[in-house]
Amino acid sequence: MASARLVNVVASKAFKSIQYSRLGFLSISQSNGSLKSFKPHCRRVHTTHLLSERLFTKDHEWISIENGIATFGITDYAQEKLGEVVFCELPEVGVECDKDDVVAVVESVKAASDIFAPVSGEVTSANEILSTSPGIINTSPEDEAWIAKIKMTNDSDKDGLLNESDYKKLIVSLE
Amino acid sequence: IKTSVLHDFHVKNNAKMVPFAGWTMPIQYKSLGIIDSHHHTRNKVSLFDVSHMLQFKVYGKDKESFIESMTVCDVKGLPENGGSLTVFTNAEGGIMDDAIINQTQQDYLYCVSNAGCSDKISTCLRENLIDFTAKGGEVVLELLDCGLLAVQGPKMAEVLQTGTDTDLSKLYFMQNVEANLFGVDCRITRCGYTGEDGVEISVAKNRAVELAENICSHEDVELAGLGARDSLRLEAGLCLYGNDIDEMTTPVEAGLTWCIGKRRRKEKNFPGAEKIVAQIKSKPSKRRSGLIVSSAIARNGAIVQDGNGNEIGSVTSGCPSPTLSANIAMAYLPLPLSKVGTEVNVLVRKRVVSAKVTKMPFVPANYFMNK
């Protein structure tokens, strides 16, 4: 079957040169307290995301939680591994899901990859732009290409998620 | 894991390498996505490294009979310098591998078969060789260890003609010639796996990189990998061994009856001949068919259903077609339901998606035929 978890997407030595630097990290200029904005490849960070720490799953999803709503998508590392995204199957709004249920599918030319719900809850919205322009997942995976929003039923679900530094370590260990 | 003679060349050109059939090969190159690479091949010309494929030569006065003893090919009927697609069959009439057998002007047969079956076919060749020579046949087998480059696309002849005195306008589809290309001796066969006009070039390992670099220096040439190779061949309606054909499918079911020489059908002197010839007469129960799938990408393993929800087959290959902007697939369907225009359903992740049986090739071929 072509459907596969993102963690099983083929990795190889050729990838090693690009990932780590690409993910970058949030940088706040200490001297005047303003956000030092920069645009590393694919990663524009909005001010709102500063307020809620961004979290990650070992399946290469990013999650941003605010007021009990978790917005998620796939990471830059994931889109790089997948290759060109040609199709995205979004969850239906109103659907209840448990953490780790398959909630969406992202398809590249070669294979379909399951996306797992990072938290349990109800899907409150799905990013319709991805139906017509799935390629945004490649160009803006951690910003414009959010996949869906889930109203969390279990606040402690976020305890199992990785912080940015642990996720970066995970990626390094995979290379 | 085996590496191609062009491995360092691939890495230098920013290839994304993946494991395939026991080799590490490029799936694409960083500069060009799979879809763009696909379009480039149909519009201009691409260079693929296919050195992982099995190449072999057969010498001796009984070389044609030897290959005929394992395949459905009319080898004796091949024109001088001409070749044909054929299949190696097993005792049940199933396909062991597909291959191209070429008659040459150099008193040997030059053959190419799939990387995924190289151990199986090498063993088959060696075992049959022992039997054949024991019965007095004169044959010598040589498994080659050299590079193979595929140059495919409408601009292939224009690009390669600049590097050779051999008149490519006289080398027609399925013909082969020994040539000197950009100063490198090689064998050029006008064939390929994309549906476009193209060649496959067999070259000594120690000159392969030099030849690849010479070809790539032309501005119209882009490197292409297995990703584009797969979508191109699927649009061309060509089978991938292991997906669309295997030991359990007969050439008749696969729509490859045309590969079986008329004389061979009469003589029935290939493995599984009784079953295959009977199937040609009585028609097979299922047939490889093309599908256009409406709103999802159907891939290998997806179940095909009739309008009443009954399972009638499964998809063997499928992908989004860059040329058609549609989702295409191949599946074996019961003969009555394999007629062009038949509407069926495909299960994609438990969702029922409609599909229609379509003529193959999905995209017309551009082979350089002798009119």
- Taking 80 as the threshold, does the pLDDT of residue B157 lie above it? yes
3-state secondary structure B213-252: HHHHCCCCEEEECHHHHHHHHHHCCCCCECCCECCCCCCC
Q: What span, in angstroms and rounded, lies between the C-alpha atoms of B110 and B132?
A: 19
C-alpha distances in angstroms, B325 versus A105, B39, B44?
Answer: 20, 12, 19
Q: How large is the average pLDDT for residues B111-117?
A: 97
Tell me whether strands B2-3 and B15-20 are parallel, antiparallel or unpaired: unpaired
**What percent of chain B has a predicted confidence (pLDDT) above 90?**
97
Q: CB neighbours of B147 closer than 8 A, spacing ≥ 6?
A: B4, B5, B6, B49, B51, B202, B203, B204, B205, B208, B211
pLDDT for res B295? 87
Q: How large is the average pLDDT for residues B190-196?
A: 98
Residues of B in contact with A86 (CB under 8 A): 35, 297, 320
Indicate the average pLDDT of chain B.
97
pLDDT band at B62 (very low <50, low <70, confident <90, very high): very high
Cβ of A10 under 8 Å from any chain B Cβ?
Answer: yes
Classify the C-alpha dihedral B238-B241-B244-B246 as positive or negative: positive
Å from A103 to nearest chain B CA?
Answer: 12
Q: Are B46 and B28 in contact (CB under 8 A)?
A: no
Compare CB distances from B319 to A3, A13, A109 and report the shortest one's residue: A109
- Taking 60 as the threshold, does the pLDDT of residue A144 lie above it? yes
Residues of A in contact with B319 (CB under 8 A): 109-110
**What percent of chain A has a predicted confidence (pLDDT) above 90?**
61
Q: What span, in angstroms and rounded, lies between the C-alpha atoms of B220 and B206?
A: 25
Compare CB distances from A14 to B16, B227, B320 and report the shortest one's residue: B16
Q: How large is the average pLDDT for residues A42-53?
A: 51
The answer to whether the CB atoms of B227 and A89 lie below 8 A apart is no
Which of A1, A81, A106, A109 is the mutation pick for testing B, counting most B CBs within 10 A? A109
pLDDT for res B103? 98
- Taking 70 as the threshold, does the pLDDT of residue A6 lie above it? no
**What percent of chain B has a predicted confidence (pLDDT) above 70?**
100
The answer to whether the CB atoms of A12 and B18 lie below 8 A apart is yes
Q: Are B97 and B117 in contact (CB under 8 A)?
A: yes
pLDDT for res A53? 80
The answer to whether the CB atoms of B301 and A1 lie below 8 A apart is yes
The answer to whether the CB atoms of A15 and B16 lie below 8 A apart is yes
pLDDT for res A52? 61
Model pTM score:
0.85
Q: Domains in chain B and their CATH numbers?
A: 2-52+145-235 (3.30.1360.120), 285-371 (2.40.30.110)
pLDDT band at A27 (very low <50, low <70, confident <90, very high): very low
Cβ of A135 under 8 Å from any chain B Cβ?
Answer: no
Question: What are B160-172's pLDDT values in tens digits?
Answer: 999 999 999 999 9
Candidates B228, B144, B297; CA nearest to A87 is B297
pLDDT band at B371 (very low <50, low <70, confident <90, very high): confident
Residues of A in contact with B33 (CB under 8 A): 83-84
The answer to whether the CB atoms of B28 and A15 lie below 8 A apart is no
Residues of B in contact with A88 (CB under 8 A): none
**Surface of A (77-116) touching B: CB under 8 A:** 83-84, 86-87, 89, 105, 107, 109-112
The answer to whether the CB atoms of A83 and B33 lie below 8 A apart is yes
Q: What span, in angstroms and rounded, lies between the C-alpha atoms of B347 and B353?
A: 6
When comparing pLDDT for B241 and A35, which is higher? B241
**Cis before B79 (ω within 30):** no
Does B200 carry a binding-site annotation? yes
pLDDT for res A13? 34
Q: What span, in angstroms and rounded, lies between the C-alpha atoms of B45 and A95?
A: 48
Q: What is the ipTM of this complex?
A: 0.71
Residues of B in contact with A109 (CB under 8 A): 34-35, 227, 231, 319-320
When comparing pLDDT for B181 and A2, which is higher? B181
pLDDT for res B19? 94
Q: Where are the beta strands (DSSP E) in A60-155?
A: 61-66, 69-74, 85-89, 96-97, 102-108, 112-116, 121-126, 148-152
Which of A17, A110, A137 is the mutation pick for testing B, counting most B CBs within 10 A? A110
Candidates B313, B300, B307; CA nearest to B348 is B300
Q: How large is the average pLDDT for residues B137-155?
A: 97
When comparing pLDDT for A30 and B136, which is higher? B136
pLDDT band at B299 (very low <50, low <70, confident <90, very high): very high
